[in-house]
Each structure stands twice: as C-alpha cells, then as structure tokens.
Amino acid sequence: MARVTIDSDAAPDTLRWAVRLLRAEAVALALLAGWLIWADLTATKTDLVSALFVTGFAIAGAAALWALGGALARRRAGARAPAMVLQLMLLPVGWFMLQAGMGWLGVPLMALGLGVCALLLSPPTTRALGFE
C-alpha cells in the first residue's frame, strides 16, 4: 500500500481561482493598453495629454492586477484589500456600460468584480491568508 501525504499547505481552490482571475484581468488590460498605444501612435488628431493618461492608467492597472495576483499566490494578506478595491471599481464601470446600452459587457464585468470579491472573502481564502 502506498503512503499518501496530504499537503496541508496547499492553497485552497478559492484562492487559486481568485489569483487566476486577477491574472486574466491583468492580461486583458495589458492587451487593451497595447491597443491604446497603437491607437495613440496612429491617430491623426488627438489630445496627447489625455491619450497618454488613459494609456498610462491601463498599463498601471495591468501591472497592479498582476502584482496583486502574485502577492495573493504567495499568501500576502495585505494584498487582499487592494485587490478587492480594484474589483469593486468594476461595478461603476459595468453600470455605466449598462446605461450606455452595452449590457453584454457591463453585466459580466460587474459579475466578475463581485465574484472575485466573493472568492477573496470566502472562509478558505480567509484562513489561507491568516485572517482566522
């Protein structure tokens, strides 16, 4: 009979899924930033300051999401609150998309933000991050 060892230090599924979703959001935002860079470079007429601000915001958001995902993967408890703040920012974005007739994108964004927050607040994640 083979011995079976249980790794009690394994991250719970809720934490692993939160990290995966944060990293997926970072990749999506990085792709958007790449498109914004291309649009900035090929535009015939633009407000340069506004264009650079929006592009820089997308780059910073992608970097922040990626870094927070990595910190949570390493079980850094201090990364949970900033990650949740970024997720909650999806609610007003999704709401304004709903108001603009883009419910096909607004509803999933709102669900994503709430879902990741639920994963980060779940009891297994809370225990894994050392809050209990």
pLDDT digits (tens, 9 = 90+) for 49-96: 999 999 999 999 999 999 999 999 999 999 999 999 999 999 999 999
- What average pLDDT does the structure give for the chain? 93
Q: What is the pLDDT of residue 6?
A: 47
Report residue 43 as tokens: 């535009």
Is 92 part of a structural domain of the chain? yes
Is 1 part of a structural domain of the chain? no
Range of the domain at 114: 15-128
User: What's the pTM value of the predicted model, to 2 decimals?
Assistant: 0.89
Please name the residue ranges forming H helices in the chain. Answer: 13-42, 48-73, 80-88, 90-99, 103-121, 123-128
The total domain count for the chain is: 1
Alpha carbons within 13 angstroms on the beta-carbon side of residue 56 total 6
Secondary structure (3-state) at 10: coil
Is 8 part of a structural domain of the chain? no
Q: What is the pLDDT of residue 46?
A: 80
Is 96 part of a structural domain of the chain? yes
pLDDT digits (tens, 9 = 90+) for 93-113: 999 999 999 999 999 999 999
Distances (CA, A) of 92 to 7, 20, 48, 75: 40, 23, 26, 28
C-alpha–C-alpha distance, residues 23 and 63, integer Å? 10
Is 39 part of a structural domain of the chain? yes
